[in-house]
Copies of this chain bind each other. A is one copy, B any other.
Amino acid sequence: MNAEAVMPLEALQALVEEILRKAGASPQAAGAVARTIVAGERDGCASHGVYRLEGCLRTIKAGKVDPRAEPSLSDDGSAVLRVAAKGGFSGPAFELGAPVLAERARKLGLAALVVNDCTHFSALWPEVEVLTDMGLAALALCPSYAVVAPTGGISPLLGTNPLAFGWPRREAPPYVFDFATSAAARGEIELRRRAGETLPEGWALDAEGAPTTDPEQALAGAMLPFGGHKGSALATMIELLAGTMIGDRTSAEALEHLGATSLAPQHGELILAFDPERFAAGRPGNPFDRAEILFDAILGQGARLPSQRRFTARAKTLAAGGLRLSAQEAARLERMRALGLAAVD
């Protein structure tokens, strides 16, 4: 593999699929997981691209995900669809449920997709964007593992619990945000530790539950929610809706099951899809046109829309006809292709 040459996205997809199949994944799982990894790389999200593939292999090797699981869909005709991921990756489960979710949202105006017993290793925006591509608004949430203390508390209980939302746009990439309800991502604390830097106040507690700006102590203690008690309340809501309500693990239970934060957590996921044309029916104005007025007003005063950097990177990748992998990424891929599961600890 030449780290200098442009690699078409299709070639990267095929390579990542090959690595996953060699690691034991079904063609369906390999395809879905690879699509998420390629999307991350395409959008310039280094931490959600090829880098994550190693984590997938580690989780397979540890026996914490079944890469051959065949997801199955339950549909009783209601507004709640359920896919049993059966201990497999979330990707193939979501891909099975998404078209039915979209159909149901168009029929009923609003529908939910529950994914149970899945290993979710990446961001939520790839799932949200599948739905915005179909003209729907979407909200996705899932627990993670217990590394965040509730505001006013002293020890890890909540997850970094991401919340993602998408709104479709006709002439532009969708309005999409996808953020952790913790003040920072765990990786950011790790990066500051390696760089010998301190943390901003409000990010973390030490093992005794006292505020700390020392990354080492923070990693041994607890992270904090963003935005004080409001972020803490949102993170708790995510535990309730995408954990207990859907009959799946809370972040505390996911950590207990996994025993480590270095592997991708296994739990459930909740995705809501809204059909704006149904919600706006009979009312003045077109909801998509009216949303553009809001976006114009945000941009017009110098503020940014979320994900703008990612969409800029995507446009650049597509214009270049593919990606220029770094030497490190190329070497990483080559190693995984050659060694399979032996490439990871």
A interface residues with partner B (beta carbon < 8 Å): 74, 78-80, 82, 107-112, 114, 116, 137, 149-155, 157, 165, 167, 175, 177, 179, 209, 226-233, 236-237, 239-241, 243-248, 250, 252, 272, 274, 276, 278-285, 287, 290-291, 293-294, 297-298, 301-304, 306
Excluding A149-B301, A150-B301, A153-B302, 16 further A-B contacts by CB distance (< 8 Å) are: A79-B111, A82-B282, A116-B283, A152-B302, A152-B304, A153-B298, A157-B298, A167-B237, A229-B306, A236-B294, A244-B287, A244-B294, A246-B279, A247-B280, A247-B285, A248-B283
Tell whether, in the assembled complex, residue B294 and residue A239 are in contact, meaning their CB atoms are under 8 Å apart. Answer: yes
Tell whether, in the assembled complex, residue A297 and residue B252 are in contact, meaning their CB atoms are under 8 Å apart. Answer: yes
| Residues of chain B contacted by A272 (CB below 8 angstroms) | 110, 272
| Residues of chain B contacted by A243 (CB below 8 angstroms) | 290, 294
Name the contact of A236 in the complex, choosing from B80, B155, B175, B285 (C-beta under 8 A).
B175
Task: Determine the residue in chain B with the shortest Cβ distance to A251.
Answer: B294
Closest 9 CB pairs of A and B: A247-B283, A227-B227, A80-B109, A153-B303, A152-B303, A79-B108, A177-B233, A247-B280, A153-B301
Name the contact of A151 in the complex, choosing from B108, B230, B303 (C-beta under 8 A).
B303
Name the contact of A237 in the complex, choosing from B78, B154, B177, B232 (C-beta under 8 A).
B177
Task: Determine the residue in chain B with the shortest Cβ distance to A155.
Answer: B301
Q: Closest CB-CB distance, A59 to chain B, in whole Å?
A: 23
Tell whether, in the assembled complex, residue A231 and residue B227 are in contact, meaning their CB atoms are under 8 Å apart. Answer: yes
A153-B298, A279-B80, A304-B152 known; A247 and B175 CB under 8 Å?
no
Tell whether, in the assembled complex, residue B79 and residue A110 are in contact, meaning their CB atoms are under 8 Å apart. Answer: yes
Q: Closest CB-CB distance, A86 to chain B, in whole Å?
A: 13
| Residues of chain B contacted by A226 (CB below 8 angstroms) | 227-228, 230
In the assembly, how many copies of this chain are there? 2
| Residues of chain B contacted by A283 (CB below 8 angstroms) | 116, 246-248
A149-B301, A303-B150 known; A282 and B177 CB under 8 Å?
no
| Residues of chain B contacted by A152 (CB below 8 angstroms) | 302-304
| Residues of chain B contacted by A231 (CB below 8 angstroms) | 227, 230
| Residues of chain B contacted by A303 (CB below 8 angstroms) | 149-153, 232
| Residues of chain B contacted by A239 (CB below 8 angstroms) | 294
| Residues of chain B contacted by A209 (CB below 8 angstroms) | 301
Name the contact of A245 in the complex, choosing from B112, B244, B279 (C-beta under 8 A).
B279
Tell whether, in the assembled complex, residue A230 and residue B179 are in contact, meaning their CB atoms are under 8 Å apart. Answer: yes
Name the contact of A157 in the complex, choosing from B157, B179, B233, B301 (C-beta under 8 A).
B301
Q: Closest CB-CB distance, A264 to chain B, in whole Å?
A: 21
Q: Closest CB-CB distance, A12 to chain B, in whole Å?
A: 30
Q: Closest CB-CB distance, A154 to chain B, in whole Å?
A: 5
Q: Closest CB-CB distance, A177 to chain B, in whole Å?
A: 4
Tell whether, in the assembled complex, residue A240 and residue B154 are in contact, meaning their CB atoms are under 8 Å apart. Answer: no
Tell whether, in the assembled complex, residue A110 and residue B109 are in contact, meaning their CB atoms are under 8 Å apart. Answer: no
Q: Closest CB-CB distance, A84 to chain B, in whole Å?
A: 9
Tell whether, in the assembled complex, residue A110 and residue B111 are in contact, meaning their CB atoms are under 8 Å apart. Answer: yes
A-B contact pairs, 25 of them (CB 8 A): A78-B108, A80-B108, A80-B279, A110-B111, A137-B241, A149-B303, A150-B298, A150-B303, A152-B303, A153-B301, A154-B302, A157-B301, A167-B237, A175-B236, A177-B230, A177-B233, A179-B233, A229-B306, A230-B231, A241-B274, A245-B276, A247-B282, A247-B284, A247-B285, A247-B287
